[in-house]
Structure 1
C-alpha cells in the first residue's frame, strides 16, 4: 500500500515515474490484482508518465505478461508462451458493466464440479457480486475515486488442485463509507466504529435481527453459499477492515489494517471435485 501511495503522489509531482520490479520475487493474487487495477487508472489518467523495467524474476515476468502489466507499460512480450504452473492457471477479467460472458468459461467449466448441495447457485452468486460492484461501489462521490470513465471491476480466477479461487476488486467508496452514506444505515453504522464490524454487518445483513437493507445481495449470498462448503471460505477487505469466514472451521473473524485499501476486495475459495485445473480458453 505504501508503494501504491508513493506512485500516486509521484505521478502528480513528477514528469515521469519509473517502476522498477527488480526486487519482486513473489506475487500474491490480492495485492497483484490491486496493483493491476491501479495501473489501469494511472495509465489512463497520466498517459506517457509511467516507465517500467522488466522484472528480473522469470516467473514474475511471465505473470506480468499474462495479466497485461507489460503491455500497459509498453514493454514488448519476451515469453513465447505462458507455461509456468504458478501463472498459467490464473485468468484476468475486467469490465465497466455487468457482462457474465467475460468469465463464462469459468462458470461453465465448474457447473458440475462445485462441491456444494446447491452448486448451481455458484454462477448466480458470482454474477450478483459483480453486479453489486457495478451498481453500488461507485454510488457516491468521495475524494479519491477514479474518474468516471475508469470506474470498473477487476477479477482474477484460478482452478487448481481441487480448489477454485475468485478475487473481485473495485476501487469504489468502500463498504464502511457506503453504509455511512445511506440514511437507513447511518444510526446503525455510527454505533459500530470499526470497519470490520461494518463489513460483517453488510455480509450478514439478510439474516440479522435488524433487517436492514444491505449494500447489495452479492456478499450475503456468497457468505450463505460458503457456509455450506466443507473447505475454502470468504474474505472481504474494505478500507481498514477485513472480515473472513473459514468454511472448514465455520469461524467468522474480523480484523483491521493500519493502511486502508481503496474500494473493496473479495476473495472466495470453493472446493471442486475431480481435482484438475482450469486451462486458458
Structure 2
C-alpha cells in the first residue's frame, strides 16, 4: 500500500472529523425529535367532524372529551393527529373550533399542536377557519376549493349586530332583503340568548369552570347554491337553563318521559319567552324558524345538549342522542337566489 503523504493524511483526518460531526448532529436531532414526540400526547382526530350522524357524533364528542381532559385536567401538551380526517361538516367543525378556543384560554399555556391531514380539502378548511392558527401550524396553504373559499367565521362575547356582516355581508344581493332581515334577527337573538341564558350555570363537562365569558362562535358556508349559517355557544344548554329559569315549564316537560332534551328545545320555541320576561324579546329565533318554514327547501337544526329539533320543508321533528355536546348549536340552511320577498313575509 502506498504510504500517505502528510497532506493526504491530514485531509483524511479532516474528512473523518466532518463525518463524525454529521453523525453526532444527526443523533442529536434524532434524540431531540424523539424527546419532542414523547413530550406530546398524540390524539387522533375523527375521520368526520359532525354532530348529526349518531356514530360520527359519538366519535367527535369522545375526541373532544379526551382533548379537554389532556389539556385542562392533566395539563399535558398534545398533538392532534388529523391524518385520518376526511370530512369537515360545518356543525362539527364549529363545535371543535369553539372547544379549541376555550381550551386555549383554560389551558394555562399548555401547547396544542397538530399533525396535518393528508386530505388537501380538510387542510384547506382548517386553514380557512383559523384552526391551524390555533394549533400553531404555519405552513402556507392556498385555498383552491370553491366551497372552502366561501367559509366565513366570527366570534365574540357581546350582542354585536355588526358581527353579522363579517359572515353574511358577502351575500348581499344573493338573498332577499326580507330573508336577510330574518337571518339578522335570528342571529342577534341567538347572541342575546347566549348572553342572558347560556352561561348562568357551570358547564357539566367535568372541568368545573365557573364564571366563564359569554362566548359565541359562528360560521357561514356557501356550497352548491345553498347558504349554511351555524351559531354555537358552550353554555349549559336549553335543557340546563329551563329548570333554573322556567321550572314550571320544565316540570311539564318531565311528564313527557323520554327525549327530555329534545322536548326542551321544542317547548322552549313554543314558549318563545326570555329570561327578562319581556314579550318583545326572545321571539327572534322562533320567527327565524317560522320564516325558514316558508322557504322552499329551507332547514333549521337546533342542537342542545343531547337533543335536536329539526324543521325541514315545513315539517318539524325531534331526536334524542346519547352523547352530549354541552352547549347549543343552531344550523340554518337556505337557498341562495330565487327567493321572493313575499315568501318570507308573515
Q: TM-score, normalised by structure 2?
A: 0.70
Residues 202-226 of structure 1, C-alpha deviations (whole Å, 9 max, x = no match) = 122249xxx9989933431221121
**More strand by percentage:** 1
Higher helix share: 2
Q: Secondary structure at the match of 2:136?
A: coil
Cα displacement string for residues 11-31 of structure 1 (whole angstroms, at most 9, x for unaligned residues): 222522221111111111111
- Cα contact 2:300–2:311 (8 A) shared by 1: yes
- The answer as to whether partners of 2:301 and 2:308 remain within 8 angstroms in 1 is yes
Deviation at 1:136, TM superposition (A): 1.7
Q: Deviations over 1:83-103 (max 9, x none)?
A: 212311111111111112223
What CA distance in whole angstroms lies between the structure 2 residues aligned with 1:221 and 1:202?
13
Q: Partner of 1:18: helix, strand, or coil?
A: strand
Tell me which residue corresponds to 2:140. 78
Q: Say whether the 8 Å CA contact 1:205–1:214 is kept in structure 2.
A: no
Greater gyration radius = 2
The match for 1:53 is 115
Q: Whole-Å Cα distance in 1 between the matches of residues 279 and 241 of structure 2?
A: 12
Q: 1:77-116 residue pairs with structure 2 within 5 A?
A: 77-79=139-141, 81-110=142-171, 112-114=173-175
Residue 235 of structure 1 corresponds to which residue in structure 2? 301
Instruction: Give the number of equivalent residue pairs.
Output: 269
* Structure 1 stretch displaced more, 52-61 or 19-28: 52-61
Q: 2:85 aligns with which of 17, 21, 24?
A: 24
More moved, 141-150 vs 176-185:
141-150
Match of 1:265 among 311, 329, 341: 329
**CA–CA separation in structure 2 for the residues paired with 1:201 and 1:230:** 25
- Quick one: higher RCO (CA 8 Å, sep 6+), 1 or 2? 1
Which one of 202, 205, 225 corresponds to residue 162 of structure 1?
225
Q: CA RMSD in A?
A: 2.8
Residues 99/214 of structure 1: CA separation in 2 closer, same or farther (3 Å cut): closer
135, 151, 157: which is aligned to 2:214? 151
1:104-125, Cα deviation, whole Å (9 max, x unpaired): 1554454554369765333222
CA contact (8 A) 2:124 2:143 kept: yes
Name stretches of at least 5 consecutive residues in structure 2 with no aligned partner. 1-60, 340-346
Structure 1 residues 118 and 83, CA gap change in structure 2 (3 angstroms)? closer
Deviations 1:29-72 (A, max 9, x none): 11111111111111111123322222221211111111111111
TM-score (norm 1): 0.85
Q: CA deviation at 1:150?
A: 4.4
Quote the residue 1:279 is aligned against. none
SS at match of 1:262: coil
Q: SS at the partner of 1:253? A: strand
Deviation at 1:158, TM superposition (A): 1.8
Q: Is the 8 A contact 1:115 1:229 kept in 2?
A: no
* Ranges in structure 1 where 5+ consecutive residues have no aligned partner: 276-281
Cα pair 1:205 1:212 within 8 Å, conserved: no
Give the equivalent residue in structure 2 for 1:196: 262
Quickly say closer, same or farther: Cα 1:266–1:48, change in 2 above 3 A.
Answer: same
**C-alpha separation between the residues in 2 aligned to 1:35 and 1:63?**
13
What is the rounded CA distance, in whole Å, between the counterparts of 1:119 and 1:49 in structure 2?
40
Match of 2:249 in 1: 185
